[in-house]
Amino acid sequence: MQALDERLLALLVWRAREQNSHAGQRIYTEGTPCDNTFGLLLDGELNISRSGTSIRILSEPALFGEVGFFESRNMRTATVEVSSPTATYLLFEVDPTDLKSGPLQPLGKWLASQAWTTVVEDANRDR
């Protein structure tokens, strides 16, 4: 998130909710509608899976849930579950239309680039 300027980070922090979860707790479920949130893992580990198969383990700090904003059907593309004993993360709620115009447009562009990177990495991993 270092690529974002301080003003944009301040706007984003105002939309954050700190969450604490335990091992096995699902944060997002593949195939469910996107709820206009994405997260930033602060502590712990998350298992990212698709069709029941683990595709990566995230450890802090790591962005997650951003791909759902850009998926054509606006659905979650993977399941995100806590894999460490506990995890602490920030959930950011953002209206997708705000990412296309106004003060959050730079965030939308940055999230799109992060989502594209994730999609490409996952595709390469599947090979």
In eight-state DSSP terms, residue 71 is: S
At 2, list the tokens. 């270092």
Using one digit for the tens of pLDDT, what is the confidence trace for 68-98?
Answer: 877 778 899 999 999 999 999 999 988 877 7
Contact (CB, 8 A) for 44 and 60: yes
Segment 44-63, tens digit of pLDDT? 999 999 999 999 999 978 88
Domains of the chain, by residue range, sit at 6-126
Q: What is the pLDDT of residue 85?
A: 98
Please indicate, yes or no, whether the overall pTM of this predicted structure exceeds 0.85: no
φ, ψ of residue 53 to 5 degrees: the values are -110, 130
pLDDT level of residue 119 (50, 70, 90 thresholds): low
Domain 6-126 is classified in which CATH homologous superfamily? Jelly Rolls (2.60.120.10)
